[in-house]
A and B are shown apart, each in its own frame.
Chain A
Amino acid sequence: MIEISKIIAAIFILLGAFLSMVTAFGLIRLPDIYTRNHAASKSATLGIMSILLGTFIYFYGAHGHFNSRVLLGIFFIFFTAPVSGHLISRAAYNTGVKVCGQTCRDDLKTARERAAKKARD
């Protein structure tokens, strides 16, 4: 039982480390802030969550210690990461950071222009 829980914890922690590494790759490779935000707000969330879950399983299985703080940490990260991703990209858009060259469509820009035109009239 202890060995099985150790193996499961190891799988979770390695998976989390792999996802965090992929996040770092994405931050280097992707062209603009919005696509980078995709990588940062998704892979990092699941990566940290699975590292914490692996830690929890290890301490519960191998030492019989139920650490509820780790579970609360998973819960908090799960709810705050998408909000922070949204706020960063919103702040970037409102301060005029350009979208990258491949971008084919921008509904928000047209909506903003329409609103500005209406305000002028």
Chain B
Amino acid sequence: MAFQILLNVFLAFIWMFLSTSSQPSSFVAGYLLGLLILYSFRRFFRSSFYLIRVVAVIKLIFTFFKALILSNIAVLKVILKPKLDIQPGIFALETELKTDWEITLLSNLITLTPGTLVIEVSEDNSTLYIHAMHLEDMKAEVAGIKNTLEKAIMEVSR
């Protein structure tokens, strides 16, 4: 992915030299043309076209912010309720993610998800131990984490 971006910048510079102008606008024009060239030559690269992953990263950032706002509303509801009837607990979550930075990202996301907080990552990086504020709907929560967050991270790192 980094190689494709570097190639695109390089193509933009070549465009600037071809048009003998050092304006930022000609850099942008060259970058867009280079994007077109990279797209048409995408089958020669080992990884997929890099704009797909950039879109996935932007999607992940939006998921981050949405999770933060939803979790705040959930915590707000618990704290401001007159009667404190929470049922906390710690549960294990198997994860399919492999590399360190993926797991770091997933645990950061889980910490910002409604009512969950990562306590421990197991030695072999296969299980996350998560403290939940309210365990009643744990099964649904696990499925939700798996479906949304893990998938979004996989889309970025694929």
Point out residues on A near B: beta carbons under 8 Å: 19, 22, 25-26, 29-32, 34-35, 37-39, 41-43, 45-46, 78-79, 82-83, 85-86, 89-90, 93, 99-100, 102-109, 111
Contacts and interface: CB of A to CB of B under 8 A. Distances in A.
Q: How many interface residues does chain B have, given as a range?
A: 20 to 34
Nearest to A27: B79
B76 A31 contact: no
Contacts of A89: 117, 119, 131
Interface stretch (B47-55, B84-92, B146-154): B84-92
Interface in B129-150: 129, 131, 133, 135
Contacts of A46: 68-69, 72
Interface of B: 64, 68-69, 71-72, 75-76, 78-80, 84, 86-92, 107-108, 111-112, 115, 117-120, 122, 127, 129, 131, 133, 135
Contacts, number: 106
Contact of A108 (B69, B71, B90): B90
A115 to B, nearest CB: 9
A72 to B, nearest CB: 16
